[in-house]
Structure 1
Amino acid sequence: MSTVGVLLAAGAGHRMGGPKALLRDASDVPFVDRAVGRLLDGGCEAVTVVLGASADEVRVLLDEAGWSQDDAVSVVVADEWAEGMGASLRAGLAALASAPASVTAALVSLVDLPDVGDDVVRRVLAAGAGEDVLARASYDGVAGHPVLLGRGHWSGVVAVARGDRGARDYLRGREVRLVECGDLATGRDVDRPGEL
């Protein structure tokens, strides 16, 4: 059994003034490069990067980082990315539909989580495995990302993921294991330049 990371990096980042996938951290590492590395270092067997806004520019960053030559990293473009996170999530999970049966779960993360490291990824992955798993990181009791979705839930998530709600409507009312990670990170995403 294995888990594939799904990195949602398609948004236009209107409040940020541009796509967050193009941002760089204090060490000049592109957010998208760092996020892919953290998913792989944390235990994901592979990563599917979902692009949308400025997809060609983000591909250049992936090329420069060497991810384009790595068989563990694939890219899919969410044609309806402007609709919101739901479209990105649908595109990412749809891309995994033809994955080998050994891929039993997807770990969904966001490109704009600067302090979520491979230690958080590792802890959430340790919460369970298999086609029925539902788990997500929490930070001081508040649910956040990444979110672990067993393969048995993918079609249900795709059916309801709309707008900026992602998997929220699907997860509501289901038993989702919260994995406390507040000792490792804040889990906050960045929305505005002042938050960098």
Structure 2
Amino acid sequence: MSKTTISADGKCRCSWCDSAPEFNAYHDTEWGFPVSDDQRLFEKVCLEGFQSGLSWRTILAKRENFRAAFKGFDFYKVAAFDEADVERLVSDAGIIRHRGKIEAAINNAKRACEMVEREGSLAAYFWGFEPDPSEVQTPQSMSTSPTSVALSKDLKKRGWRFVGPTTVFAFMQAMGLINDHADGCFLRPKIDEIRKSFVRPQ
């Protein structure tokens, strides 16, 4: 099965873009671009956790609602959420009303605050797990990797929740820790060039 598709605009993209019309913009402007902003990294960890058992299209459609409900994913603000906030979120039809995932996001915000104190930033921590490119030799051929397993294990040891190896691998793909655009996708060489000049957080 081909991992690329020719879109209506004539561009060759990763074939998953065919799944929903809104995926082209997400693919072309976000997916796989390296990210060093702590708030965006935290948002993605949370949204990947909410996606567990669901489709990314469902999460993407609700992303602005999530951002409003979780204070723009400012983890310092989310860390201060209390039981009343949990009840508010469980009643919010604009997001995924899964108590366990909501509580995990609040818990992870607290863990993120701790991580910044210890590591300097979330970006420095996550990019410290950037794998060697040879780890994923064939793009979009894996749903986990040795690095995602190691990162998941370390996050869980630090008290994070809903961060299994598959969730973490999807996070790594989206946040540019690996370039998993398919061979032939018009963005793959562009992402390679962006990654070359990307300043890794220390």
TM-score of Structure 1 vs Structure 2, range by shorter chain: under 0.3
With CA pairs under 8 Å and 6+ residues apart, which has the higher RCO, 1 or 2? 2
Give the alignment's TM-score, normalised by structure 1.
0.23
> Which has the larger share of helix?
2
Give the alignment's TM-score, normalised by structure 2.
0.23
